[in-house]
Amino acid sequence: MHHLCKRLTRNMTWRPRYFDIGVNFSDSMFQGFYNGSPTPKHPCDIEDVINRAHLFNVDRMLITASTIKESRDHLGLCEQYKNQFSSTAGVHPCSVANEFYVKEEDSFTEELRPDVSEKLAELKSILIEGYNSGHVKAFGEIGLDYDRLHYSSKHQQLEMFKRQLDILKEIQFRIPLFLHMRAACDDFINIIKPYIDDGTVENGVVHSFTGTEEELNKLLELGFYIGVNGCSLKTEENLVVASKIPVDKLMIETDAPWCEIRKSHASYKFISPYPNIFYPAISTGELNEAKPQFKLDDNLPFPSIKKEHYTKHSMYVQQRLENWREEAPAETRVGVLSRPLIKSRNEPAQVGHVAEILCKLNDITDDSDIEKFIDRVFENSVKVFH
């Protein structure tokens, strides 16, 4: 009986804690703009996205910068949503051509812009300012991406990966790296290893990892953590590799609004219906409706709507609340009256699905072991991005 009481007490007090290490809040989708359209489908809903994340225990978030402008803008975004998330500062490999190279007609040359030194100095200034203010917790997203050479050539990526790493030798503090590596493992290691060997680089994460088991082992040998999201879990081959990541080197992310876990992905079958240990139940307290106009998401207790139906859903909620008057439900953070998820747009509240998939890939099914796993992954991220 004593052991039973102890276990029940632990389960009553424990809750999952998640750190989504990859969120793109500067993406126009969170402002309501999709597919390059100049007309928004809905108002900016970052606050709703943050609230949903906190409701399901996403206690920490790291937003990722891809350009110098984003790196600067994120300082203001962190200030606007103070204590909600931190940021990175750096130039993504797919952005280096546009950021640092001379453009002729419709393509970029291999010639550096004449102001490249000034641009790198600006990036260093942002990094220092962000670090001192507590807003910037990592240098990145930097690295190599050979899957998308139509954005930046190998030469451009290699040169600017190294020149960005050189910034770390010019600052008076050590900061973890937020790294990108696609189909470029050997070049990636050849560039970064000297910075590890001389102590310039101490730790960091290779995020959104989609590589082979051999590549995984090479990155682990360098001491890096590995970030996993929906793009890391698409195929059966991906799942085999993901299952090999040691828990003490694992981080989870959404890369929202990208990298959702789709029904066509090999990993989708591992997601359980809500509620479960990864998403504890929250009572809606709402009145029943025989045929609700809007359906809830398959795995979360929020309406899941097409972006074009945002206004229609808002009007529906307003009408329902007006009709109920004194009988209005006490809880509207979940259920059909809650703010909606947008179909095909990923967000931090869904990071718990990544945790569940990884548990099942590691055959972790006992509640106590699941709790230890979730706690350890959270602590990994907090330790690095403190």
Per the listing, tokens 């981080």 go with 251
72 to 26, 62, 123, 153: CA distances (angstroms): 11, 15, 8, 25
Cα–Cα distance for residue pair 257/347, rounded to 1 Å:
6
Burial of 6 (0-12, 13-18, 19+ CB in 10 A): exposed
Q: What pLDDT, on a 0 to 100 scale, did the predictor assign at position 324?
A: 73
pTM assigned to the model: 0.95
Q: Is residue 179 within 8 Å of residue 143, measured between CB atoms?
A: yes
Report the top-level CATH class of 18-33+40-273+346-384.
alpha beta
Q: What pLDDT, on a 0 to 100 scale, did the predictor assign at position 12?
A: 65
Cα–Cα distance for residue pair 142/206, rounded to 1 Å:
10
The per-residue pLDDT string of the chain (386 residues; one tens digit each, 9 = 90 and over) reads: 444 444 444 456 899 999 999 999 999 999 999 999 999 999 999 999 999 999 999 999 999 999 999 999 999 999 999 999 999 999 999 999 999 999 999 999 999 999 999 999 999 999 999 999 999 999 999 999 999 999 999 999 999 999 999 999 999 999 999 999 999 999 999 999 999 999 999 999 999 999 999 999 999 999 999 999 999 999 999 999 999 999 999 999 999 999 999 999 999 999 999 999 999 999 765 555 667 789 999 999 999 999 999 999 999 999 888 887 666 666 789 998 999 999 999 999 999 999 999 999 999 999 999 999 999 999 999 999 99
Cα–Cα distance for residue pair 194/332, rounded to 1 Å:
54
Give the contacts of 122 (CB within 8 A, at least 6 positions apart): 68, 72
Q: What pLDDT, on a 0 to 100 scale, did the predictor assign at position 205?
A: 98
Instruction: Spell out the domain ranges in the chain.
Output: 18-33+40-273+346-384
Q: What pLDDT, on a 0 to 100 scale, did the predictor assign at position 330?
A: 66
How far from the centroid of its chain's Cα atoms is residue 343's Cα?
A: 17
3-state DSSP of the chain? CHHHHHHHHHHHHCCCCEEEEEECCCCHHHHCCCCCCCCCCCCCCHHHHHHHHHHCCEEEEEECCCCHHHHHHHHHHHHHCCCCCEEEECCCHHHHHHHHEEEECCEEEEEECCCHHHHHHHHHHHHHHHHHHCCEEEEEEEEEECCCCCCCCHHHHHHHHHHHHHHCCCCCCCCCEEEEEECCHHHHHHHHHHHHHCCCCCCEEECCCCCCHHHHHHHHHCCCEEEECHHHHCCHHHHHHHCCCCHHHEEECCCECCCCCCCCCCCHHHCCCCCECCECCCCCCCCCCCCCCCCECCCCCCEEECHHHHHHHHHHHHHHHHHHHHHCCCCCCCCCCCCCEECCCCCHHHHHHHHHHHHHHCCCCCHHHHHHHHHHHHHHHHHHCC
Q: Which amino acid is at 292?
A: P
Cα–Cα distance for residue pair 144/161, rounded to 1 Å:
7
Cα–Cα–Cα angle for 72, 75, 81, rounded to 5 degrees: 145
Cα–Cα distance for residue pair 133/136, rounded to 1 Å:
8
Q: What pLDDT, on a 0 to 100 scale, did the predictor assign at position 332?
A: 87
Tokens of 68: 């110098």
Report phi then psi at 101, rounded to 5.
Answer: -120, 155
Q: What pLDDT, on a 0 to 100 scale, did the predictor assign at position 28?
A: 97
